[in-house]
Amino acid sequence: MAKDFAEAFYHSKKWLRFREIYLDEHPYCERCLKAGIIVPAEHVHHVVWLTPENINNPYITLNAENAEALCQPCHNQEHHATAEVEDGLMFDGDGNLIQEGRGLGADS
């Protein structure tokens, strides 16, 4: 799987400790909380997803600013929704799916 590059990281003490502290400070799913629902968080999601390029960058991997406490359904939704994005498609700043190079005002 494409996630193999992150496996050592997810087993590292640095990450496990960061995760524990983060969940301590953010015990509830941050997305459900915004909708007014209190659900225990089960995952610490990276807002900027980990890639082979940033996996050794603690500013991405171990930064509370880049972390989001999510429940299982919200985490699934985040990854499932994005996994379906095909080549040439991307999300705009509002999370809408757009076609690359066909945004408003892009010249043809």
Does 62 engage in binding with Zn ion (CB under 5 A)? Answer: no
Name the one range near Zn ion by CB under 5 A: 25-33, 51-59, 86-94, 97-105: 25-33
Q: Which run of H or E residues covers position 82?
A: helix 72-83
Secondary structure (3-state) at 21: helix
| Dist CA 33 CA 53 (whole Å) | 32
Quick one: 27 or 103, whose CB is closer to Zn ion?
A: 27
Secondary structure (3-state) at 43: strand
Does 31 engage in binding with Zn ion (CB under 5 A)? Answer: yes
Q: What φ, ψ does residue 97 adopt, rounded to 5°?
A: -80, 125
Does 67 engage in binding with Zn ion (CB under 5 A)? Answer: no
| Dist CA 51 CA 76 (whole Å) | 18
**Minimum gap (Å) between residue 38 Cβ and Zn ion:** 10
| Dist CA 41 CA 74 (whole Å) | 9
Quick one: 45 or 61, whose CB is closer to Zn ion?
A: 45
Quick one: 14 or 102, whose CB is closer to Zn ion?
A: 14
Quick one: 32 or 60, whose CB is closer to Zn ion?
A: 32
Residues in touch with Zn ion (CB under 5 A): 29, 31-32, 45, 71, 74
